[in-house]
Amino acid sequence: MPLLELVELTKIFRTPHGEARAVDGITLSVEAGETLGIIGESGSGKSTLGRLILRLTEPDSGSVVIEGQDVLALGRGELRRKRRHWQIVFQEPFASLNPRLTIRQIVEEPLIVARMGDRAERRLRVLATLEEVGLSADFMDRRPANLSGGQQQRVGIARALVTNPSLVVLDEPTSSLDLTIRASILRTLARLRASRGLTYVFISHDIETVRHFCSTVAVMHRGKIVEVGPTRDVLIAPQHPYTQSLISAALPVVPYSAAVGTTNSQGQTS
Amino acid sequence: MTSLGGRASSWAKQGRAWAYKRSGMVLAVVAAGIIVALPLAAIFLHLPQNPLQPDVESMALAPNSVHWFGTDGNGMDVFSRTIESARLDLPISLAATAIALVIGVPLGLFATTGVAGEAIMRVVDAFAALPIIVIAVVSIQLMGGGATDVILAIALVAAPRFVRLSRAAAISLRSSRYVEAAVAIGCSPIRVAFNHIFRNAYGVILVQATLTTAGALSTIAALNFLGVGVKPPQPSWGAMIEDGVSMLIRGQWWAVAFPALALLLVIGSLNIIAGAIEDKMERVEHTR
Ligand SMILES: Nc1ncnc2c1ncn2[C@@H]1O[C@H](COP(=O)(O)OP(=O)(O)OP(=O)(O)O)[C@@H](O)[C@H]1O
Ligand SMILES: [Mg+2]
């Protein structure tokens, strides 16, 4: 049974200027432990798809099933209680952190909301998770404004992982970061994937990142999936003209494998 | 490597920042002391003269050794009345503001969507369209007219402004990334409203609270002038100023000057407290 299954998922935004079919009848499935890359140009509907998966946006039609659970059938309260298992990391790390809270408060909140552990246990868990994402205990009492972009994104990752979720949507988690920091964040994400057996939906507009990070890739164009398959096949022998144009338009500045380290054919960094 | 001079100047800078921080805190503590001390003085201190006792023998006397702030047109002691005013003025204004906050902020935070939100805003708009004093007089007449009624009336009048402010904050912050993140980790709407929206909006709400308290002081005076609420001869700063204005033409400034000073002192103190809290929040946000 796939961990995530989308059937004919559709979201249409109706604005005074007309309607935008942001996600237009998408059917997809992701196996447990797999990393599905979603790639497409700006405005193709990638973020909307990510939000729909986690029901942060209500779809117009279609269905979302995660771990056998029909997400759209959940009541408000049930959905809130399930959220600890299905998490998201946003593109803009600073904007996604409440500026008034300390790092400790930010990473602890998912545990409080899910009623996991007492104060002491939560503290330990926050510390352990921060360490897992590469942040020392010194960061506990700092606030987001005093962290670098990379550190802020590590906090975002810690917040998503602290409740030990099974599925994590990564919405362009590195696109606002410098190249070197980007590589190091991706290494962290790959390590966490391996150690925790995580399933990722990795949204990106960067072909090179997807090539090395994802086992499967879906190419999105105007709200539709135009091509989906194992990353190697899709990127080496693209069938759809849109995918072909995406690939030929992408010229890597630095070979990704040089920055991140060696990779194998499953896209698992070592 | 930091040069010795560089380090010294950075110490100097830190010292100045520390002094600034300290002076802000000290000022705020003094201001809070004034706000608390004035009503306590009115309640517990033995005033030099009876503040409610007119005296035809000593009308409109300039400040002297018996009447430190002089006497008003009825021969009542201005010093005693200035202190005595704090007994009702301050608790009424502060309580009214507190109630307005407690009613207005949650309504505003939740009145952002749906039929209920729509209905709340209709009521708020209707209230805002009426002159404040009309609402206050009518509601006090309906309720009876004691100090509690004045408090409730002023709170009722002030609450819509808190509804609007917190609603505006809620609407603008609701689409922010960190509020979306809060929803994504499973926060309840109440938790989102208080831990994420209110926490980032209470600077403006606080400023409004000081303005409301100051406004309440003048509302008390206006009500008094209309013969509702705090009844003469019980003094209030606003009423003392109203009464004293007619004496100004004859150069008898003291009946107005001292209650006006007290009023300024209180409003100034409130502003200092609000400023200190805002400042503290800013610092918390930008340093560690
Ligand atoms: N809340 C909204 N209201 C109206 N239209 C929206 C809304 N959110 C997204 N859209 C529209 O839906 C389409 C897809 O947007 P989306 O953000 O999903 O694209 P994206 O692929 O994530 O783009 P990017 O790479 O720039 O992040 C766009 O045309 C956008 O204008
Ligand atoms: Mg996007």
Q: Whose alpha carbon is nearest atom 30 of ligand 1?
A: A43
Instruction: Between B226 and A6, name the one with better pLDDT.
Output: A6
Is B59 inside a domain boundary? Answer: no
Range of the domain at B240: 2-51+66-286
- For residue B9, pLDDT over 70 is answered with no
Atom number in ligand 1 closest to CA A50: 18
Q: Are B85 and B240 within 8 A, CB to CB? A: yes
Higher pLDDT, B129 or A145: A145
| Residue range of the domain that includes A117 | 97-165
Q: A21 CA to chain B: closest CA distance, Å?
A: 20
- Residue among A82, A113, A141 minimizing CB distance to B288: A141
A136 lines ligand 1 (CB under 6 A): no
More confident residue, A138 or B267: A138
Nearest-atom number in ligand 1 for the CA of A205 is 25
Asked, for residue A244, whether it belongs to a domain, the answer is no
CA of B210 to the centre of ligand 2 (A): 42
Decide if A15 is inside a domain.
Answer: no
CA A35 – CA A214 distance, rounded (Å)? 5
pLDDT confidence of residue B47? 84
Q: Does residue B259 belong to any structural domain of this protein? A: yes
**String of DSSP letters for A147-206:** S-HHHHHHHHHHHHHTT--SEEEEESTTTTS-HHHHHHHHHHHHHHHHHHT-EEEEEES-
A196 domain-assigned: no
- The reply to whether B126 falls in a domain is yes
Cβ contact, residue pair B177, A110, below 8 Å:
no
Whether A98 and B182 lie within 8 Å, measured CB to CB:
yes
| A18 in contact with ligand 1, CB cutoff 6 A | no
Which CATH number do you get for residue B279?
A: 1.10.3720.10
- Whether residue A143 lies within 8 A of chain B, CB to CB, comes out as yes
Nearest to B69 by CA among B286, B238, B192, B244: B244
User: How remote is the CA of residue A56 from the centroid of ligand 1, in Å?
Assistant: 14
What angle, 0 to 180 degrees and rounded to 10, lies between the N-to-C axes of helices B254-286 and B4-44? Answer: 140
Whether residue B138 is predicted with pLDDT greater than 90 in this model: the reply is no
Indicate the pairing of strand A35-39 with strand A199-204: parallel
Residue B285 has pLDDT above 70, yes or no: no
Q: How many whole angstroms separate alpha carbon B243 and alpha carbon B35?
A: 24
The overall average pLDDT reported for chain B is 84
A100·B184 Cβ contact <8 A: no
Predicted ipTM beyond 0.90: no
Chain A residues near residue B190 by CB distance under 8 angstroms:
none
Say which amino acid occupies B80: S
* Category of B116 on φ-ψ map: left (φ > 0), alpha (ψ -120 to 50) or beta: alpha
Looking at per-residue pLDDT, the higher value among A37 and B62 belongs to A37
Residue of B174, B178, B191, B194 to mutate for A, most A C-beta atoms under 10 A: B178
Q: Which residue of B has its CA nearest to A165?
A: B185
* Intervals of chain A under pLDDT 50: 253, 261-270
User: Chain B closest CA to A13's CA: distance in Å?
Assistant: 15
Residue nearest to atom 29 of ligand 1 (CA): A43
Q: How many domains does chain A have?
A: 1
Q: Is residue A131 in a domain?
A: yes
Q: Is the dihedral of CA A85, A89, A93, A94 positive or negative?
A: negative
Atom of ligand 1 nearest to the CA of A57: 1
In a domain, B60, yes or no: no
Angstrom distance (rounded) from CA A213 to CA A235: 13
Query: Mind telling me how many Å the CA of A99 is from chain B's nearest CA?
Result: 6
| Cβ of A42 below 6 Å from ligand 1 | yes
- Asked if residue A116 is part of any domain, the answer here is yes
Among A84-88, B21-25, B229-233, B254-258, the range scoring the smallest mean pLDDT is B229-233
pLDDT of residue B8: 64
Q: Which residues of chain B have a Cβ shorter than 8 Å from any chain A Cβ?
A: 176-178, 180-188, 191, 195-196, 199-200, 281, 284-288
Reply yes or no on whether the pLDDT at B227 is more than 80: no
pLDDT at B43 over 90: no
Contact call for residues A45 and A203 (beta carbons, < 8 A): no
Asked, for residue A234, whether it belongs to a domain, the answer is no
Q: List chain B residues with CB under 8 Å of A84.
A: 185-186
Mean pLDDT of all residues in B131-135? 72
Q: For chains A and B, what is the number of CB pairs under 8 angstroms?
A: 73
Number of domains in chain B: 1
Residue nearest atom 6 of ligand 1, based on CA coordinates = A13
- Asked whether residue B57 is domain-assigned, the answer is no
Between these two residues, B209 and B143, which has the higher pLDDT value? B209
- Ligand 1: atom nearest CA of A15 is 4
In a domain, A26, yes or no: no
State if residue A45 touches ligand 1 by the CB under 6 angstroms criterion: yes
Q: Whose CA is nearest to atom 31 of ligand 1?
A: A43
Sequence length of chain A is 270
What is the model's pLDDT at position A151? 96
- Segment B145-185, tens digit of pLDDT: 677 888 888 888 889 989 999 999 899 898 899 999 999 99
> For the residues B210-221, what does the mean pLDDT come to?
84
Q: Does residue A150 form part of some domain? A: yes
pLDDT of B17: 72
Which three-class secondary structure state does DSSP give residue B270? helix
Within a 10 A sphere around the Cβ of B26, how many other Cβ atoms? Answer: 11
| Over residues B263-268, mean pLDDT | 89
Is residue B226 predicted with pLDDT exceeding 80? no
pLDDT of B18 higher than 80: no
Residue of A47, A109, A111, A157 to mutate, interface with B, max B Cβ within 10 Å: A109
**What CA–CA distance (Å, rounded) separates A56 from A75?**
13
The fraction of chain B above a pLDDT of 70, given in percent, is: 90
Mean pLDDT in residue range B270-285: 76
Q: What is the pTM of this model?
A: 0.81
